[in-house]
Amino acid sequence: MSLELYYSPNSPFARKVLIVARELGLYSQLQLQLVAPNPTVRVPELHVHNPLAQVPTLVTPDHGVIFDSGVIVQYLDVLAGGGKILPPSGDLKRYEALTYDHLCNGTLGAMLLVRYESAVRTLEQHSEPWVTGQLSKAQRGIQRLSELHLPDISGPVLSLQAVDLLVVVWYLDRRFGHLNWREWEGAKVLAEWYEHAEKRQSWVEEVAPPL
């Protein structure tokens, strides 16, 4: 089976899907289509598959187009036999995992909005109350993640929670180093976890620079 994945290496949501594909042994089935999504510019090759023009977007041979990283992750898990990245359907722990996923996605979403404010909008368009509000949301997300059980990283396949947390901390390091995010409430715990988790082979392969 060949799966066409539209992605950007700068997207934390696309990064999540790529790590999950590596963990599930499905990475070799992906045909990667690099795009540069822009909230203000039409990207024809992406719009034709996803009217929202968001990455990641997965084009499948038999099940149409799938988008939203959480939906793609569940699809890949089923392709790999089910119950590997996520607890299987019928297991109530699945909803704990999906809630954790939503917490991470919301935290990332707030960080992306802060990023867009400085990267896309002009200085005259900046709204400090907006930035402060989104940054506070991200900080609350980080604090809550630090209070929850840290995901195990020693199993044969990482859980969705572990992949989620890897991506959150990676994005913090990538885009928010200038804000000293490691000084945020609870961030030190996550940073220490990340120092061990980033040695995971799937993560090393994914973030390594291309040859």
Domain co-membership, 65 together with 103: no
Integer angstrom CA distances of residue 151 from 97, 112, 122, 139, 163: 10, 24, 39, 19, 9
Domain membership of residue 44 as a residue range = 3-79
Q: Domain for residue 62, yes or no?
A: yes
* In-domain check, residue 211: no
The pLDDT confidence band at residue 162, using thresholds 50, 70 and 90, is very high
Same-domain pairing of 33 and 128: no
Task: Of 96-100, 164-168, 172-176, 193-197, give the lowest mean pLDDT range.
Answer: 172-176
| Residue 26 pLDDT class (50, 70, 90 cuts) | very high
pTM of the model as a whole: 0.93
Q: Name 41's bridge partners.
A: 38
Strand partners, 59: 4, 65
> Does 107 lie in the same domain as 143?
yes
Residue ending a domain, among 53, 79, 105, is 79
The strand pair at 30-34 and 65-67 is best described as unpaired
The reported pLDDT for the residue numbered 211 is: 37
Residue 141 φ/ψ, nearest 5 degrees: -65, -45
| Structural domains in the chain (count) | 2
- At 101-141, the pLDDT tens digits run 999 999 999 999 998 877 776 777 778 888 899 999 999 99
Whether 84 maps to a domain, the answer reads no
Let me know whether 101 and 17 are in one domain.
no
Residue finishing a domain among 79, 113, 137: 79
pLDDT greater than 70 at residue 21 = yes
Residue 206 lies in a domain: no
Instruction: Indicate the pLDDT class of residue 39, thresholds 50, 70 and 90.
Output: low
Average pLDDT over residues 73-77: 98
Answer yes or no: are the C-beta atoms of 142 and 185 closer than 8 Å.
Answer: yes
| Segment 144-161, tens digit of pLDDT | 999 999 999 999 999 999
Q: For residue 208, is pLDDT > 90?
A: no
CATH number at residue 37: 3.40.30.10
Q: Are residues 66 and 98 in the same domain?
A: no
